[in-house]
Amino acid sequence: MEKQQLKDLTLEEMQKWVESLGEKKFRAQQIFRRIYEGAISFEEMTELPKELRSRLDGCAEIGSVRQIRRQISEKDGTRKYLFQVRGGAAVESVFMKYRYGNTACLSSQAGCRMGCAFCASGADGLQRNLTAGEIVDQMISMSRDAQERIGHIVVMGTGEPFDNYDELIRAIRILHDQNGPDISLRNITVSTCGLLPKILSFARDMPQVSLAVSLHAADDEKRRILMPVASSYSMAELLNVCRQYTEMTRRRITFEYALIDGVNDAEEDARKLSVRLKGMLCHVNLIPLNRVRESGFAGTTRKKAEKFAEILQKYRIPVTIRRELGSDISAACGQLRLQEKEESKDR
């Protein structure tokens, strides 16, 4: 029988599992706590009876991702990690230092099947969904390696989090648990390319978690060129669902907009976007596109980005131009990719 991966379980699930072994329920909390204090073996859980420890050894495992590479940016101390998951796939995760605290950018899938034209993550399609434990453990492993506490999470690494919805929700429950990493829900942000039914589920399941939506265009025509998902859902439908989301949660949505030279960065695009977003409780995050080898696209100039922002401001749409961290180690948005061999070709 396959061993139970303990980081895949919420505390409640672990309680049931422990009871199914014929053990007392309170043992689950002891085990859960010790795991997120950093225990990597049952041996060190000395508050558990010896017999239980060896029993756990036989039927359960604690760790779930294995660090295979680490790069540290000389510019800003950003750390990019490559983690191997069961079955051989690898995912990337990033540790960033912001003024407001340390932030982990986590992957939700190995690869991605959304196929956005400008993004490296989907270049090879989807390999598989990550389990909750594999999502959580990226954070735990980086925190241990950097010897730093992580207080903020963005699920903006490889993958479309809403294409792996159940494991995402389970991972958030674990990350938030007071007996575990104890991360405030408001400090967690999930980014989606816009899977509408899941945006509404998320409003119900996790109303306190922050939501970011990748927009990248001001009209359907352009959006369809950049993002295949736009052929399933129109922008009008997407923005309607975003309005519903805000009604349900009272939360401000962040719209991400990667500025691509000559594609979506004209003043006309900025005006169109402003008109569409007018009156919404939102914030626009402009990201000058990072170069990705296989796409022919290039990032906009600083000057054009500023002009774009200025127009949005005129329409009173809150906007920021994102500061890029880790671009010297290809850790910036859209540069995370699956395979190590792919990366070594870059150098």
Q: Which residue is nearest to ligand SAH (CB)?
A: 334
Among 56, 183, 333, 338, binds ligand SAH (CB under 6 A): 333
From candidates 187, 290, 300, 330, binder to ligand SAH by CB under 6 A: 290
Answer for which of 18, 60, 209, 258 binds ligand SAH (CB under 6 A) is 258
Catalytic residue ranges: 92, 333
Among 169, 196, 209, 289, binds ligand SAH (CB under 6 A): 289
In this chain, which of 35, 56, 142, 156 binds ligand SAH, going by CB under 6 A? 156
> x/- binding map, residues 175-194, to ligand SAH, per CB under 6 A?
----------------xxx-
Of 18 and 336, nearer to ligand SAH (C-beta) is 336
119 touches ligand SAH (CB under 6 A): yes
Q: Is 214 near ligand SAH (CB under 6 A)? A: yes
Compare residues 114 and 172 and give the one whose CB is closer to ligand SAH.
114
Pairwise CA distance, residues 97 & 336, whole Å:
18
Which span sits near ligand SAH by CB under 6 A: 44-52, 63-71, 112-120, 300-308?
A: 112-120
Output 28 or 213, the one with its CB closest to ligand SAH: 213
Q: Is 217 in the site for ligand SAH (CB under 6 A)?
A: no
Cβ proximity to ligand SAH, 115 vs 207, nearer residue = 115
Is the Cβ–Cβ distance between 216 and 334 less than 8 Å? no
Residue 326 contacts ligand SAH per CB under 6 A: no
Q: What is the CA radius of gyration of the chain?
A: 21
Closest to 8 in 3D by CA, of 84, 61, 82: 61
Q: Which of 8, 13, 137, 160 binds ligand SAH (CB under 6 A)?
A: 160
Nearer to ligand SAH, 119 or 329 (CB): 119
287 binds ligand SAH (CB under 6 A): yes
The secondary structure of the chain, three-state, reads CCCEEHHHCCHHHHHHHHHHCCCCCHHHHHHHHHHHHCCCCCCCCCCCCHHHHHHHHHHEECCCCEEEEEEECCCCCCEEEEEECCCCCEEEEEEEEECCEEEEECCCEEECCCCCCCCCCCCCCEEEECCHHHHHHHHHHHHHHHCCCCCEEEECCCCCHHHHHHHHHHHHHHHHCCCCCCCCHHHEEEEECCCHHHHHHHHHHCCCCEEEEECCCCCHHHHHHHCHHHHCCCHHHHHHHHHHHHHHHCCCEEEEEEEECCCCCCHHHHHHHHHHHCCCCEEEEEEECCCCCCCCCCECCHHHHHHHHHHHHHCCCCEEECCCCCHHHCCCCCCCCCCHHHHHHHC
By the rule CB under 6 A, 264 interacts with ligand SAH: no
Q: Is 253 in the site for ligand SAH (CB under 6 A)?
A: no
Sites of contact with ligand SAH (CB under 6 A)? 114, 116, 118-119, 156, 160, 191-193, 214, 256, 258, 287, 289-290, 292, 333-334
